Amino acid sequence: MRGLRVALVAAVVLGPVSGYGQAQTFFPVTKNMFDVTDTNHDGKISREEFKARMHEVFYFLDKNKDGFLTKDELPRVSDEAFRAADKNGDGKLTLDEYIDARMHDFDAADKNHDGFLTRDEVQ
């Protein structure tokens, strides 16, 4: 699960990370991905904001638009991390499987367990 855990960082901030790789894996890099994810601009990312962002990320990554993510569409994700997210073992991630794995990432990054991610928690 560690491989997916670090993917959180790539989705909300700039810069290289292990696991999923660099932020450009998800979206074209903008000036500040944290601010893009923090839609109410309160300086922290709620579970709801994060889940909405991961929904967008899923469809961006689904290059062939078949409603699933395959290992080919996630080349920087380790095989182990992919298998952990693929709950039914069919070799592809549904939106629910992807969101579930990413919410585990959120929880792992939420060091103080307050239900929000701060800039410090995602760096």
Return the domain boundaries, the chain. Answer: 2-122
| Phi, psi angles (nearest 5°) of residue 4 | -80, -30
- 8 Å CB contact between 5 and 104: yes
- pLDDT surpassing 70 at residue 10: no
**pLDDT confidence of residue 33:** 85
**pLDDT confidence of residue 26:** 38
Topology, domain 2-122: Recoverin; domain 1 (1.10.238)
| 39-94 pLDDT tens trace | 999 999 999 999 999 999 999 999 999 999 999 999 889 999 999 999 999 999 99
Q: Is 109 left (phi over 0), alpha (psi -120 to 50) or beta?
A: alpha
- Band the pLDDT of 5: cuts 50, 70, 90: very low
- Band the pLDDT of 123: cuts 50, 70, 90: confident
